[in-house]
Amino acid sequence: MKIQALITVLSSAVLTVCVAANAAPEKQADSDYRIQVFKDCEKVKDMPMSESQISAYQALQNIEDTMTGLEKPVRDMDEELEVYQEQLEELADAVTYEDDNVLKIDKQKLREQKQLARKIEQIVRHHEADIRAIEKEARRIEAASMRFERAIKPSLEGLEHDQVQIINRKTAKPYRCY
């Protein structure tokens, strides 16, 4: 489903920016937010985030939280559509059949197929506002992720790395190598 693909791409983009972007300190703050840089699962550098980096990061996180809330109705729609799509696929095979080398159409099955297609269209129409809200939020995420990337990119110049993690020391989970 296109919506699920959009959600997956956006979530992946946010995660990529948060985890794999580069970082640059301006004036360093004694902060609970830190940038940890890794190469081959070994920590190369650990540095505090500046106020502007924290601000950009928190803005991105807030938008991501909003997106998570917006995704719920669309996930519900996907579940509802899945049932109808399975029925539609089953009917697709039953609509036509061969009889004495003649291809025939079962008009009742064709009507059922059209009825299911209309139900699917109604469900999608019902969720158009949800879909538009996600698209709008996706543009906000893109802008926030670019701002975040610009804020942290300079501090890793010259450092070889294959992974960057942004952590909050108060809520940090143990490091996992990806």
Q: Average of pLDDT values for 125-149?
A: 94
| pLDDT at residue 13, as a whole number | 44
Q: Which residue(s) pair with 165 in the sheet?
A: 36
Length of the chain: 178
Place of tokens 């269209």: 121
Q: How far apart are CA 120 and CA 80, in angstroms?
A: 9
The model carries a pTM of 0.63
Checking if the pLDDT of 170 tops 90, the result is no
Higher pLDDT, 7 or 173: 173
How is the chain split into domains, by residue range? 2-168
Q: What is the mean pLDDT of residues 101-130?
A: 91
Is it the case that residue 111 has pLDDT exceeding 50? yes
Taking residues 141-161, report their average pLDDT.
90
Neighbours of 3 (CB within 10 A): 19
Residue with tokens 């509802």: 80
- In tens, the pLDDT along 41-55 reads 899 999 999 999 999
d(CA 90, CA 13): 35
Scan for tokens 């143990």, then name that residue.
Answer: 174
d(CA 34, CA 49): 5
The tokens describing 139, both together, are 């543009």
